Amino acid sequence: MIEYQDVAAALQRERGDAVVVTAMTQTRFWKAASDRPELDIPTNNSMGKASSIGFGIAIGAPGRKVIVQDGDGSLIMNLGSLITVAGKSPKNFYHVVYDNGMYAVTGGQPIPGAGNIDWPGLALASGYRAAYSFDDTEEMATEMPRIMAEEGPIMIHVKVKPVITTNLGVIQTWESNAVMPAQMRSVKAELASA
Ligand SMILES: Cc1ncc(C[n+]2csc(CCOP(=O)(O)OP(=O)(O)O)c2C)c(N)n1
């Protein structure tokens, strides 16, 4: 199994000026790793929608890479997005799926089908151009530069060691609800000035 911070570090090395959309536990680790916070959109208050938000940005800004860091539980809620993404096949779309087999931010309840889901298989059957799966940190870190240089849509499935924390900002407050729209405005301004 791979540690969250190692996935974040491998993606950070390759992100360049990519827009990065995160879900759930990954948001916290990405916040610590990201060197371009103005291009980051956390979607913790919008469970399941990371792939759809990233897809919209990818087709709206085809010259810009978009990295979606999804949760397995979140993607289960929006599996149809795999087909929507593949239907347009954006070359700039990279879909990382963190497989911890659970809903970590609500206490670690197992997701339906935990351990039995063929995530790369779902992506390929939906029409993604390629899909990779990693359970080893070294292998993931070695392969990431090559994968991120390929054309999308690509799924990168990572088997991660669960981190259960129930206070990651999913408790909705006026302040936390304002973060995602503020970051969307930030990304829009960045893309407009590019
Ligand atoms: C429609 C809806 N149902 C349930 C929730 C409660 N909820 C918030 S986060 C979460 C778990 C997210 O799981 P996953 O995407 O696997 O990420 P992880 O917590 O494992 O990092 C759940 C069930 C929600 N926010 N919205």
pLDDT value for 166: 76
pLDDT value for 165: 83
Residue type, 38: E
Q: Is 106 in the pocket of ligand 1 (CB under 6 A)?
A: yes
pLDDT value for 3: 98
pLDDT value for 171: 58
Task: Please give the Cα distance from 15 to 2 (Å, whole number).
Answer: 19
Q: How far is the CA of 8 from the centre of ligand 1 (A)?
A: 20
Task: Name the least confident of 12-26, 93-107, 170-184.
Answer: 170-184
CATH number at residue 175: 3.40.50.970
Question: Which of the four pLDDT bands, split at 50, 70 and 90, describes residue 167?
Answer: low
Report how many domains make up the chain: 1
Q: How far is the CA of 105 from the centre of ligand 1 (A)?
A: 7
Asked if residues 111 and 73 have their Cβ atoms less than 8 Å apart, the reply is yes
Tens of pLDDT, residues 134-155: 999 999 999 999 999 999 999 9
Asked if residues 100 and 106 have their Cβ atoms less than 8 Å apart, the reply is no
Instruction: Measure Cα distances from 169 to 24, 42, 179, 191 in Å.
Output: 9, 10, 10, 27
Chain position carrying tokens 């931010």: 105
Mean pLDDT of the residues in the chain: 95
Q: How far is the CA of 129 from the centre of ligand 1 (A)?
A: 28
In the predicted model, what is the mean pLDDT of residues 119-132? 98
Q: Is 97 in the pocket of ligand 1 (CB under 6 A)?
A: no
Task: Please give the Cα distance from 128 to 116 (Å, whole number).
Answer: 20
Q: Is 71 in the pocket of ligand 1 (CB under 6 A)?
A: yes
Pocket test for ligand 1, best of 106, 167, 177 (most atoms within 8 A of CB): 106
Percent of the chain with pLDDT over 70: 96
pLDDT value for 57: 98
Q: How far is the CA of 65 from the centre of ligand 1 (A)?
A: 26
Could you tell me the residue range of the domain that residue 79 belongs to? 4-193
Q: Is 163 in the pocket of ligand 1 (CB under 6 A)?
A: no
- Residue 163 scores a pLDDT above 70: yes
Q: How far is the CA of 77 from the centre of ligand 1 (A)?
A: 9
- Residue 15 scores a pLDDT above 90: yes
